Chain A
Amino acid sequence: MSDPHAGMVEKRGPSRWLTHAGLILGVLFIFFPIWLAFVASTVSQPEIVRPPMPLLPGDRFFENYRDALLSGVNAPVARMLMNSAVMAVGIALGKIAISLLSAFAIVYFRFPLRKLFFWLIFMTLMLPVEVRIVPTYEVAANFGMLNSYGGLILPLVASATATFLFRQFFMTVPDELAEAARVDGARPMRFFVDILLPMSRTNIAALFVILFIYGWNQYLWPLLITTDPEMNTIVMGIKQMFPSGDDIADWPVIMATSILAMIPPVIVVISMQKLFIRGLVDSEK
């Protein structure tokens, strides 16, 4: 049989339909919350506050999204989207850049304290931001980084994971390639730019997908570092849209914002599915 998956183990008939039914149930469970948010983003506030809300989209799609994007609650969501984009791209590119350089140094050179530096970088695996928030916040504050892109990006840029991924990859690049480049007269940085970087393209792209989502979905750090609504990222900004006290939340706008907050990462994940899965599996190895 040509298909390696086909064979006697594959069930036919009713059990196949059960399989599909189970999977469809799973898909519904996954999509129901998203669907509901979408519906809420297309109806009017009164339709929501008088439960039950409708389960099919209404006709206020453009109004609600326009309201959210242009005025929002505290700040226009368009502004928050841009902040998120800057942060996510900044973190992804920053991590990739410093990790490529340090992995290159660690793999292709022998220098004093190499082992020590290696372990220092490695240990940061054990220090998620959430663990050291107060002192990290103080450092950022002392640098005057509150309400700045630098403050949003820099503290999240160091990454042992990316360094390890590139180190693993560089180890698989044949020694002879570097030697051939040396014989060809390439100095280290020339080899790095002309040979190693182009060869790492796929790895870089896969990692970018993962890191973009990581950066986009940050919550606690932007919550601490940005007090000015103009600097809020969209993911943390949603919570800020809820009124304190007993006022009623502006659900259609909040739900439109939630949908807007998931669109960029969803597009990245779905459109680069292959790279994404590869990046995911690689970065956990």
Chain B
Amino acid sequence: MKGHMEKRVIFKGKWLPLLLILPQLAVTAVFFFYPAGEAIWQSLFIPDPFGLSMQYVGLGNFEYLLNDPYYRASFVTTAVFSVLVTLVSMGVALFLAVLADRLIKGSGTYRTLLIWPYAVAPAVAGVLWMFMFNTRVGVITWYLGQLGYDWNHVLNGTEAMGLVVIASAWGRISYNFLFFLAGLQSIPRSVIEAAAIDGAGFWTRFRTIVFPLLSPTTFFLMVVNIVYAFFETFGVIHTITAGGPQQSTTILVYKVYADGFVGQDLGSSAAQSVVLLVVVGLLTVAQFKFIERKVHY
């Protein structure tokens, strides 16, 4: 047989398959390619103050963006935010997965209890955490106050960042937990037992055997979590801090929204969209590298 990735030609016909693929192509063209093209096109213009005409500025919007301290700050904010979200959610998830994997019985029960937050929308997660840390009514704020710590994420940028990171990571723990647990359970017991016979203790086994064997899962989750932190945490930011204080939690996606819809600066927003397109492209390539690697396994 030739080619393993292709079926033998099974059905004849040209018009039927085109008809079948048409709905997806149409939706894709109208809501994906046209807007993406439009974003690229708009990124080359700025509207006049009255919004009556557009003036071609070439790469002017991009130049402006790159020189805009707020945009550069937003880049840094996004980087810090995604690294923290990824580390916290993966760290907690790995810890819990390793524990659950050690159980003979009951890991299913814990799994059922731990997958809840996957179903909780980021925006709802944001509301829950904002409620706990609310400056006026928050329970944790109040207890912190009793301990002598004055929590105020509305004014303190670091606290705001901490709060959106925890709220975002919280919602992501289930997802990472499930993948880590599946990864751990697919490691053959015999390998670990062999190491135990060789005298390796739990921590040594984890460091030298379990973690390396888990690396494909870890790498995959890293990419997926960064994508999550970049694009799917809008709801968390919007509900808790709305990008503030002083833009200290304005990640790139939030800025596209804020400049495009709130600030009505279409040229800049479009240019930011294009930059994000490039970022997603790079992340997708990274993801592919992973898929390719997995194929070789």
Contact = CB atoms under 8 A, between A and B. Distances in A.
B277 A188 contact: no
A102 interface: yes
A57 interface: no
Interface string A174-201: 0100110010000011010000000000
Contact of B280 (A31, A126, A273): A126
Interface stretch (A59-67, A70-78, A153-161): A153-161
Nearest to B190: A7
A126 B231 contact: no
Nearest to B37: A135
Given A49-B136, A262-B119, A108 B7 contact: yes
A141 B242 CA distance: 25
A111 B17 contact: yes
A31 B195 CA distance: 36
Nearest to A11: B102
Interface string B108-134: 001111111111111111011101100
B256 interface: yes
A97 B117 CA distance: 28
Tell me the dominant secondary structure on chain B's binding face.
Answer: helix
Nearest to A140: B31
A101 B20 contact: yes
Contacts of B277: 126-127, 131-132
Tell me the dominant secondary structure on chain A's binding face.
Answer: helix
A53 interface: yes
B131 A251 contact: yes
A105 B202 CA distance: 51
Given A158-B27, A224-B261, A262-B119, A281 B170 contact: no
A217 B121 contact: yes
Interface stretch (B44-52, B56-64, B67-75, B138-146): B138-146
A31 to B, nearest CB: 7
Give the size category of B's interface with A.
35 or more
Contacts of A107: 7
B127 A238 contact: yes
B34 A135 contact: yes
B28 A121 contact: yes
A113 B32 CA distance: 19
Interface centre among B27, B112, B125 (most CB of A within 10 A): B27
Contacts of B31: 136, 139-140, 154-155, 158
A99 interface: yes
B213 to A, nearest CB: 14
A175 B10 contact: yes
A4 interface: yes
B16 A213 contact: no
A56 interface: no
Contact of A102 (B9, B20, B112): B20
Contacts of A126: 277, 280-281, 284
Interface residues of A, number: 110
Contact of B25 (A37, A121, A273): A121
Given A109-B17, A131-B231, A178-B10, A235 B121 contact: yes
Interface in A26-46: 26-27, 29-34, 36-37, 40
Given A130-B256, A217-B122, A235-B235, A5 B178 contact: no
Contacts of B33: 120
Nearest to A241: B127
Contacts of A3: 104
Contacts of A238: 123-124, 127, 239
B175 interface: yes
Contacts of A85: none
A269 interface: yes
Nearest to B9: A110
Contact of A30 (B117, B123, B142): B117
A14 interface: no
A48 B137 contact: yes
A175 B234 contact: no
A130 B14 CA distance: 36
A262 B234 contact: no
A7 B141 CA distance: 46
B220 A261 contact: no
A97 B22 CA distance: 12
A258 B124 contact: yes
B11 A188 contact: yes
Nearest to B18: A111
B196 A30 contact: no
Contacts of A280: 175, 178
B167 to A, nearest CB: 8
A23 interface: yes
A27 B261 contact: no
Interface string B75-96: 0000000000000000010011
6 contacts: A7-B189, A99-B24, A106-B17, A135-B42, A139-B38, A255-B131
Given A132-B39, A158-B27, 19 more contacts: A9-B196, A27-B114, A33-B128, A33-B129, A98-B23, A105-B16, A127-B32, A130-B231, A130-B232, A131-B231, A131-B273, A134-B266, A136-B31, A188-B13, A217-B123, A239-B123, A251-B137, A266-B119, A269-B116
Nearest 5 interchain pairs by C-beta:
A217-B121, A135-B35, A109-B17, A265-B119, A135-B38
